Amino acid sequence: MNFSKSELLIKCEALGITKCLSKNKSQLVELISIKEQQILTNSTVAPLTVVTPTNSTVVLEVIPRFKFIDLFCGIGGFHQASLRLQGECVFACDIDEKCRKVYEKNYGLRPESDITKIDISKIPEFDILCGGFPCQAFSNSGKKKGFEDARGNLFENIISIAIAKRPSFMFLENVKHIKKIDNGNVYKHIISRINASGYVVNEKTIFELSPHQLGVPQQRERVIFVCIRADIFDPVKKIIICPPETPIRFDNILETDTNVLQKYKIPGELESVLNAWNEMITTFEVNENLSPTILCNEFNTIYSEDEFLKLPDWKQEYITKNKPIYQKYKTQWDSWYATHAQILCKKEVYGKLEWQVGKKKEQESIFNHFIQLRQSGIRVKKAVYFPTLVAIVQTPIYAKEKRYITPRECARLQSFPDNFVLHENDHTAYKQFGNAVNVDVVHYVMMNALNVYGMFV
């Protein structure tokens, strides 16, 4: 991220770093990074242990720094972040039984179910309210109905709890698209409802952050609303989110246990399909343009004008745009297709290549990339980041190793620790991580905000 020197100076001030006026930008970034590391170390729960004279280790209780509640808790992305900051969860809720089961297994706390049925007076006292409220009503992949959708109104339950319980802070998370729904009216509505309930939230306390900015190879932009109770809000205290430039690390994510990996190998049929496409990709000249989606099963289909016009628009467009690449490599396509037609016709998706990695390079291979089988085709994406995890299960394929990414790798992509107990059913685990908030992302925002408000001094 590119921050101006003055932004970095403000951040230094917020972190209590002095004598920095004479420093250049990279020195400031380094100082910020060191300071944040210190805060992190100070704020991470280190169970206090003592060794008794009989040589047995006794774990002393850690005194929590704050109490929090975890609304729409899922599998506890916020819980993980708060634990790192030494928070204690006193209440959680999620309507999904499978999430509640995983939550209880990991944190020893049984979440309540439907937020609309909760008796607010029974929620214990707490300092911080966390909530990644359901995003289907707001996200790009949803129907974009905004507040007309009942799930959008679940946000009002957060407001009711805030009004009744008056926590010091609220950290609310949602998809970035929330800012755009209904021309920004949903976003304005959220801000005004929070303000009306006695909390300060404005452009300076709302942040956009993605795990890739913290070194995690997943691009997943999220909006985090930091809401500060009006009586403790201090305009002088500025929360500045400028993550240090952390190199992206794949090695932290990738599974290395060959026994585990064996289970996630792609089926032989799919491997043959990918091998077939790879053969054709090798044939193309370097710099060849492989977009838009190539529909190889259409090359030799003859349509009458009437039939063609009855095809969906997208198909008409692809067939037309595929003509030059077919003509250019006609001999190769035809002999390739004669060899592989049977398998390429086996499923509709096998005959559609969505090449999203730019022009063909030297040494190009489909196996250099991530692959997702989607209705629209075999989608090939650059392996700079892992594909963004989504709740709809289309498990990405790490083509280099001809295997699906594992649930544990998904956990790591969401910055959950390796001792996190996953749901025993892989599909459920994939879905739960697709829904979760990235722990590093919310931790980074919470840590900075709470630090500015003196939580870690």
Ligand X SMILES: C[S@@+](CC[C@H](N)C(=O)[O-])C[C@H]1O[C@@H](n2cnc3c(N)ncnc32)[C@H](O)[C@@H]1O
| Span interacting with ligand X, options 71-79, 121-129, 227-235, 262-270, rule CB under 6 A | 71-79
Residue 83 or 452: the one with the smaller Cβ distance to ligand X is: 83
| Span interacting with ligand X, options 76-84, 210-218, 231-239, 448-456, rule CB under 6 A | 76-84
446 near ligand X, rule: CB under 6 A: no
Q: Is the dihedral of CA 420, 424, 430, 431 positive or negative?
A: negative
**Separation of alpha carbons 97 and 104, rounded Å:** 10
My answer on whether omega of the bond before 292 falls inside 30° of 0, hence cis, is yes
**Separation of alpha carbons 100 and 74, rounded Å:** 7
| Span interacting with ligand X, options 29-37, 199-207, 254-262, 430-438, rule CB under 6 A | 430-438
Residue 144 or 402: the one with the smaller Cβ distance to ligand X is: 144
Residue written as token pair 């280790």:
57
Residue 75 or 170: the one with the smaller Cβ distance to ligand X is: 75
Amino acid sitting at position 353: L
Beta carbons within 10 angstroms of residue 74's beta carbon: 24
Closest C-alpha among 162, 173, 224, 171 to residue 196:
162
**Separation of alpha carbons 237 and 454, rounded Å:** 10
The DSSP letter of residue 232 is T
Check if the beta carbon of residue 283 is closer than 8 Å to that of residue 336: yes
Candidate list 68, 72, 336, 385; residue touching ligand X; CB under 6 A: 72
| Span interacting with ligand X, options 94-102, 213-221, 308-316, 362-370, rule CB under 6 A | 94-102
The DSSP letter of residue 142 is T
Candidate list 15, 29, 74, 444; residue touching ligand X; CB under 6 A: 74
Residue tagged active-site, from 135, 227, 242, 410: 135
135 near ligand X, rule: CB under 6 A: yes
134 near ligand X, rule: CB under 6 A: yes
Counting residues that bind ligand X (by CB under 6 A) gives 22
Q: Which of residues 340-369 bind ligand X (CB under 6 A)?
A: none
3-state SS of the chain: helix, strand, coil percent to 5? 45, 15, 40
**Separation of alpha carbons 349 and 453, rounded Å:** 53
Amino acid sitting at position 81: A
Beta carbons within 10 angstroms of residue 337's beta carbon: 18
User: Is residue 135 annotated as part of the catalytic site, yes or no?
Assistant: yes
Strands 222-229 and 199-200: antiparallel
Residue 293 or 428: the one with the smaller Cβ distance to ligand X is: 428
Candidate list 45, 90, 95, 343; residue touching ligand X; CB under 6 A: 95
The distance of closest approach from Cβ of residue 438 to ligand X in the complex, given in angstroms and rounded to an integer, is 8
The distance of closest approach from Cβ of residue 420 to ligand X in the complex, given in angstroms and rounded to an integer, is 11
Q: Which of residues 103-132 bind ligand X (CB under 6 A)?
A: 114-116, 132
Check if the beta carbon of residue 86 is closer than 8 Å to that of residue 45: yes
Candidate list 106, 205, 415, 435; residue touching ligand X; CB under 6 A: 435
Beta carbons within 10 angstroms of residue 139's beta carbon: 18
CA distances from 424 to 387, 408, 412, 421 (A): 23, 11, 17, 9
99 near ligand X, rule: CB under 6 A: yes
Closest C-alpha among 157, 156, 162 to residue 129:
162
The distance of closest approach from Cβ of residue 419 to ligand X in the complex, given in angstroms and rounded to an integer, is 17
Q: Which of residues 148-187 bind ligand X (CB under 6 A)?
A: 154
Candidate list 31, 357, 437, 450; residue touching ligand X; CB under 6 A: 437
208 near ligand X, rule: CB under 6 A: no
The distance of closest approach from Cβ of residue 5 to ligand X in the complex, given in angstroms and rounded to an integer, is 36
Residue 133 or 367: the one with the smaller Cβ distance to ligand X is: 133
For the annotated catalytic residues, the residue numbers are 135
Interaction site with ligand X (CB under 6 A)? 72-78, 93-96, 99, 114-116, 132, 134-135, 154, 435-437
